[in-house]
Structure 1
């Protein structure tokens, strides 16, 4: 699995907006509520190109997934260890692992995943801002 440095404080999706001649990335309020970031502080950010997918714009397709999200509420990670999910790999990270996003832009790292792959994965490790998964069923288009 990819190694996440202890200095990583937050992973979320956001849109860059132009405002009064400057560019703004809006930080979700949950990042402040969980003391991940503080007002007035300076942070280093990384930017990954991530085209919007239909799944990002709509409710989860699966009734089980929607029910699971309601049980967890919107304050914690939207996945649980042992959960099985269908994901779409959007990009690859520096270590070559696939990066997928699920509900609320939450990041799931999938070893060996390539952009466009749609594997079924099992969530193995959950952290506040990122989860790690293993492939349990390979996307047939990737063969």
Structure 2
């Protein structure tokens, strides 16, 4: 199954019945990592667990791709990003494919910068500013 780069997060959940409605809980980590925001509307796709289970048993590589997709950036890569948020420590936060977070120190909200990726983990990357773009370019 191919996933669009527009997918912000991917997790498994159980459909529960509560007070005449059905609910799927979003893991807290999706909000903590900044992938999603509360009180915001999102489109949701529901995939049968059977489909996921069949795909997981196809190959070991397939299982790894579904559970832990590779980060969409690599160390040394240059990217132009928009700083969409400022973190608790004052560093800029940019989001790239699948909502993956890149932390960029010494940036301001809504700034567009060219960065070099300096460190990559499964959930977040860090970058350094190479060049700042003019505001209305």
TM-score (normalizing by structure 2): 0.54
* SS of alignment partner, residue 104 of structure 1: helix
| C-alpha deviation, 1:46, in angstroms | 2.7
The counterpart of 2:117, out of the listed 120, 123, 133, is 123
The counterpart of 1:100, out of the listed 70, 94, 97, is 94
Give structure 1 stretches of 5+ with no counterpart: 1-11, 28-41, 52-72
Find the aligned partners of 1:126 and 1:47 in 2 and give their Cα distance. Answer: 15
**Could you say what the CA RMSD is over the residues aligned between the two structures, in angstroms?**
3.6
Q: Which residue pairs with 1:46 in the alignment? A: 32
Q: Which residue pairs with 2:72 in the alignment? A: 78
Alignment coverage as a number of residue pairs:
92
Query: 1:63-74 to 2 correspondence within 5 Å?
Result: none
Give structure 2 stretches of 5+ with no counterpart: 1-6, 10-15, 41-64
Structure label with greater radius of gyration: 2
Q: Which residue pairs with 2:127 in the alignment? A: 133
| C-alpha deviation, 1:115, in angstroms | 1.7
> Could you list the runs of 4 or more consecutive aligned residues of structure 1 that deviate by over 2 angstroms after TM superposition?
19-25, 42-51
